[in-house]
C-alpha cells in the first residue's frame, strides 16, 4: 500500500457566522496518488468546505477547530502563506463548478491558459503557447488556434469546461480538486466531461477529489467515496462496495432516491424522514460523547 498523497485527519470546523455551528465534524479521509475520490452529500454537508480546505481558500466565515490536512507530509493548514502559494495552482489545481464565471469575459483564452504556465512553470510566451495548443488538443478541442484567439462568450459551456480542465491539468499537478464540474452542464455534455476528466486523470496519473451531490456521477468516475451529512462522514469506502453493499441506511436511501431506468416505478423515492431523524440523533450523541 502506497503512502497517501493527501491525508485529512479529524478535520473539524465551525461557521463563525452562524453561532459557531459545526460545518465539519472530525472528518478523515486518505487519498492515494492517482486515485479518484468522491465527496458526496447534499448542500451544506461540508463537501465544498473540505475542497476549499485542501485548496487553502477557506472563507473567513469558516474557522478550523482541529485536525490536519496533510499533502505529502506538509500540513496545508499550518503552512506559511508563501509555501502554500507555491503548492496551489501547481501541485494542487482546481476545476471550478461553473464554466460561465470561471473564465474572464474580457480576456482571450490564450492569456488565461498561458499565464499560469508562465507564472508557475516559468515558460516563455512561445513555449507556453505551444503547451496550451497541445493541451487543447488533448482535451479534444478542434481548431485550438481559433479557440486560443477567442473570448469566452464565443464558446459553448462544454468547450469552456474543457478549457478549464486543460488549465487544471496544465502545470502537471499531483492533485486536482473538481468542484461539481458537471453540475452546470447539459446531461449529454456532462457525460463527455466526466469521461474526459477520467482520461486526463489516467494519462497524467493525477489524483482527483471529485465533489458532487450525484451518486450516479460517483458510480461513473470515482474509485472511492466519502459520504457526508451535516459535516460528518456517514460512510466511506470503495465505490463498488458502497454502491453494492451500502452499510448505512442513509446511503441505501440515497441510492433508492436516484433514478433507475430499468425500474422507473421503484426509483426517485425520497429519503424517509425517519433516516434524517436518526442521522441527527447519531450526530448529537457523538457530539456529547
Q: Residues in the site for other proteins, rule: CB under 8 A?
A: 55, 57, 60, 85-86, 88-90, 93-94, 96-98, 101-107, 112, 115-116, 119-120, 151, 153-154, 164, 167
Closer residue to other proteins, CB minimum distance, 98 or 223: 98
Enter the C-alpha cell of residue 20: 459557531
Place of cell 496545508: 76
Long-range contacts of the stretch 53-60 (C-beta < 8 A, 24+): 53/8, 53/11, 53/13, 53/24, 53/77, 54/6, 54/8, 54/92, 54/175, 54/177, 54/209, 55/88, 55/92, 55/94, 55/177, 56/84, 56/87, 56/88, 58/13, 60/16
Identity of the residue, 97 or 224, whose beta carbon is nearer to other proteins in the bound complex: 97
- Whichever of 23 and 84 has its CB closer to other proteins, that residue is 84
Residue 98 beta carbon to other proteins: minimum distance, rounded to whole angstroms? 6
Distance separating alpha carbons of residues 30 and 281, to the nearest angstrom: 27
> Nearest distance from residue 212's CB to other proteins, in Å?
17
Q: Where are the alpha helices (DSSP H) in 170-214?
A: 187-204
Closest CB 62 distance from other proteins, rounded Å = 15
For 192, other C-beta atoms within 10 Å of its C-beta total: 16
Closest CB to other proteins among 42 and 86? 86
- Work out the angle between the directed axes of helices 125-138 and 157-169 (0-180°, nearest 10): 120
Q: Give the whole-angstrom CA distance, residue 262 versus residue 260.
A: 5
User: Taking a C-beta distance cutoff of 8 angstroms, is the pair 35, 236 a contact?
Assistant: no
Decide whether 97 or 201 has the Cβ nearer to other proteins: 97
Which residue, 104 or 281, is less far from other proteins as judged by CB?
104
| Least gap, CB of 44 to other proteins (angstroms) | 20
**Would you call 45 exposed, middle or buried from its count of C-beta atoms within 10 A (0-12, 13-18, 19+)?**
buried
Closer residue to other proteins, CB minimum distance, 60 or 142: 60
Min dist CB 102 to other proteins, Å, is 4
**H-state helical runs in 3-93:** 47-55, 81-87
Question: Which residues face 40 on adjacent strands?
Answer: 212, 227
**Measured from the CB of residue 100, what is the shortest distance to other proteins in angstroms?**
9
Shortest distance (Å) from residue 233 CB to other proteins: 26
Amino acid at each position: 500500500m502506497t503512502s497517501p498523497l493527501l491525508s485529512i485527519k479529524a478535520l473539524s470546523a465551525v461557521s463563525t457566522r452562524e453561532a459557531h455551528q459545526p460545518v465539519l465534524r472530525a472528518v478523515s479521509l486518505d487519498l492515494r496518488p492517482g486515485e479518484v475520490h468522491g465527496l458526496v452529500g447534499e448542500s451544506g454537508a461540508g463537501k465544498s468546505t473540505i475542497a476549499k480546505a485542501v485548496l487553502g481558500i477557506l472563507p473567513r466565515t469558516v474557522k478550523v477547530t482541529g485536525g490536519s490536512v496533510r499533502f505529502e507530509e506538509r500540513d496545508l493548514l499550518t503552512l506559511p502563506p508563501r509555501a502554500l502559494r507555491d503548492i496551489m495552482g501547481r501541485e494542487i489545481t482546481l476545476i471550478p463548478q461553473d464554466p460561465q464565471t470561471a473564465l474572464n469575459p474580457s480576456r482571450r483564452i490564450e492569456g488565461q491558459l498561458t499565464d499560469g504556465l508562465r507564472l508557475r512553470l516559468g515558460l516563455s510566451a512561445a513555449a507556453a503557447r505551444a503547451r496550451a495548443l497541445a493541451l487543447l488538443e488533448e482535451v479534444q478541442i478542434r481548431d485550438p488556434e481559433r479557440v486560443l484567439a477567442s473570448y469566452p462568450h464565443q464558446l459553448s459551456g462544454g468547450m469552456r469546461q474543457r478549457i478549464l480542465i486543460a488549465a487544471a491539468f496544465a502545470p502537471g499537478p499531483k492533485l486536482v480538486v473538481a468542484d461539481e464540474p458537471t453540475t452546470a452542464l447539459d446531461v449529454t455534455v456532462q457525460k463527455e466531461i466526466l469521461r474526459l476528466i477520467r482520461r486526463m486523470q489516467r494519462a497524467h496519473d493525477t489524483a482527483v477529489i471529485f465533489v458532487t451531490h450525484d451518486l450516479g456521477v460517483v458510480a461513473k468516475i470515482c474509485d472511492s467515496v466519502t459520504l457526508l451529512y451535516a459535516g460528518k462522514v456517514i460512510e466511506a469506502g470503495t465505490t463498488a462496495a458502497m454502491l453494492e453493499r451500502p452499510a448505512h441506511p442513509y446511503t441505501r436511501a440515497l441510492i433508492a432516491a436516484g433514478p433507475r431506468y430499468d425500474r422507473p416505478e421503484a426509483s426517485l423515492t425520497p429519503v424517509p424522514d425517519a433516516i434524517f431523524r436518526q442521522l441527527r440523533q447519531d450526530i448529537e450523541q457523538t457530539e456529547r460523547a
